[in-house]
């Protein structure tokens, strides 16, 4: 069994995953409430909290799996990208756990985790597949021929989709994190009430032509809310949320559709926190039905940050033998 640890942002996560992708446990201690009053993640507070929580979360993951450290044959950990102080807490814990038993360590790229989340469980996705990863820090479409790696076909040129949700929610006075709040409120609104721009940038020469851009959209919401005035934008908040969400979802599924057609694959996956969004899940499902492809939408807790997906990526990543990993550094910008 693989013991996996993930602390790249504001969730302290540990999981026990089998070598065939079985999820024996998947623990997530969310720090959401701690950062809410600041309107976003405060890196120093996140690292301190990881330090307080990580041992207990690892113990819980083992207990939940009905396992002991003796049953673990490797320790996987997110090496980056993410908040450097937060990453260091997970990496140091993983090193200590592995070194104490002379186990190998598997350093994992957080985004690789999002890309292979659909290889977990009883019905794993098989390559080749196209994957849309939309999270708080990253947004891209990638092709996977071998789950050991992924080739990016297009990515955001400015804000990530999750960032667009979070910034939009702040403009609408919905608090942090914004994605789930917009998702909820949008259910009561009309997605066609307001026309927000669907930006589909051509990108540079080597971009592959499937890039995204979300910064103009956020500005457009800001101006629209300002034009409506405080009372009116408050009254029409659900319509604003639904229309804004529709613009993000449209851009994401347009590029996903183009990638599927261009790459000619039959299998498609979603990943990243924004893949927990109900409108995106529904739109991607109808897109794939129309194109005759099969879609894997991981359970919501496997879309947002979690350690099971780090264990999944570890199955396809090189191990570093003891004591080679003791000098390994975390990396805020990996790749």
DSSP 307: S
Length of the chain in terms of residues written: 335
Burial category of 263 from C-beta neighbours within 10 Å (exposed 0-12, middle 13-18, buried 19 and up):
middle
113 binds, among ligand KG4, Zn ion, none (CB under 5 to 8 A by kind): none
- The window from 83-91, 212-220, 300-308, 322-330 that contacts Zn ion (CB under 5 A) reads 300-308
Q: Which is nearer to ligand KG4, 183 or 239 (CB)?
A: 183
Q: Which is nearer to ligand KG4, 138 or 224 (CB)?
A: 138
What DSSP string describes 283-315? HHHHHHHHHT-EEE---HHHHSS-SHHHHHHHT
When binding is defined by CB under 6 A, the residue of 21, 90, 147, 179 that contacts ligand KG4 is 179
Shortest spacing between CB 23 and ligand KG4, in angstroms? 17
Structure-token pair, residue 182: 């917009």
Shortest spacing between CB 5 and ligand KG4, in angstroms? 15
Binding status of residue 9 toward ligand KG4 by CB under 6 A: yes
311 binds, among Zn ion, ligand KG4, none (CB under 5 to 8 A by kind): none
Shortest spacing between CB 217 and ligand KG4, in angstroms? 14
CA gap 191, 238 in Å, rounded:
9
When binding is defined by CB under 6 A, the residue of 85, 154, 180, 189 that contacts ligand KG4 is 180
CA gap 331, 335 in Å, rounded:
9
When binding is defined by CB under 5 A, the residue of 305, 309, 314, 334 that contacts Zn ion is 305
189 binds, among ligand KG4, Zn ion, none (CB under 5 to 8 A by kind): none
Token pair 């009883």 in the structure block, residue: 122
**At a CB cut-off of 8 Å and minimum separation 6, what does 224 contact?**
194, 196, 233, 240
Write the interaction track for ligand KG4 spanning residues 254-283; mark x where CB under 6 A is met and - where it is not: ------------------xxx-xx------
Signed CA dihedral, 313, 315, 317, 321: sign only? positive
Structure-token pair, residue 185: 């409120």
Q: Which is nearer to ligand KG4, 65 or 182 (CB)?
A: 182
Binding status of residue 31 toward ligand KG4 by CB under 6 A: no
Structure-token pair, residue 281: 């899940």
C-alpha to C-alpha distances, 197 to 177, 210, 328, nearest whole angstrom: 23, 17, 44
Binding status of residue 78 toward Zn ion by CB under 5 A: no
* Best CA proximity match to 132, nearest among 262, 264, 9, 273: 273
Binding status of residue 135 toward Zn ion by CB under 5 A: yes
Binding status of residue 168 toward ligand KG4 by CB under 6 A: no
**3-state SS class at 132:** strand
Contacts with ligand KG4 by CB under 6 A lie at 9, 135-137, 162, 165-166, 177-180, 183, 272-274, 276-277, 304-305
* Contacting positions for Zn ion (CB under 5 A): 135, 305
């Amino acid at each position: 069994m693989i013991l996996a640890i993930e602390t790249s942002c504001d969730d302290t996560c540990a999981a026990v995953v089998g070598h065939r992708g079985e999820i024996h446990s998947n623990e997530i201690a969310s720090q959401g409430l701690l950062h809410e009053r600041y309107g976003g993640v405060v890196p120093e507070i996140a690292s301190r909290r990881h330090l307080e929580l990580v041992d207990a979360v690892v113990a819980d993951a083992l207990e939940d799996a009905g396992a002991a450290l003796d049953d673990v044959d490797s320790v996987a950990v997110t090496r980056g990208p993410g908040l450097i102080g937060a990453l260091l807490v997970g990496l140091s814990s993983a090193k200590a756990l592995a070194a104490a038993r002379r186990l190998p360590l598997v350093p994992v790229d957080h985004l690789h985790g999002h890309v292979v989340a659909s290889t977990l469980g009883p019905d794993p996705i098989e390559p080749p597949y196209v994957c849309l990863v939309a999270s708080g820090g990253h947004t891209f479409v990638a092709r996977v021929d071998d789950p050991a790696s992924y080739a990016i076909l297009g990515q955001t040129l400015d804000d990530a989709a999750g960032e667009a949700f979070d910034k939009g929610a702040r403009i609408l006075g919905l608090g942090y994190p914004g994605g789930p709040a917009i998702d909820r409120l949008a259910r009561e609104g009309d997605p066609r009430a307001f026309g927000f721009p669907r930006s589909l940038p051509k990108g540079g020469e080597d971009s592959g032509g499937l890039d995204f851009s979300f910064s103009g959209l956020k500005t457009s919401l800001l101006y629209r809310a300002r034009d409506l005035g405080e009372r009116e934008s408050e009254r029409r908040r659900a319509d604003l949320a639904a229309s804004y969400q529709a613009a993000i979802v449209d851009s994401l599924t347009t590029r996903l559709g183009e990638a599927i057609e261009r790459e000619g694959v039959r299998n498609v996956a979603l990943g990243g926190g924004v893949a927990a969004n109900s409108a995106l899940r529904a739109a991607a499902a109808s897109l794939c039905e129309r194109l005759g492809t099969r879609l894997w939408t991981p359970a919501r807790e496997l879309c947002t940050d979690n350690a099971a997906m780090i264990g999944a990526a570890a199955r396809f990543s090189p191990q570093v033998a003891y004591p080679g990993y003791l000098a390994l550094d975390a990396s805020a910008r990996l790749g």
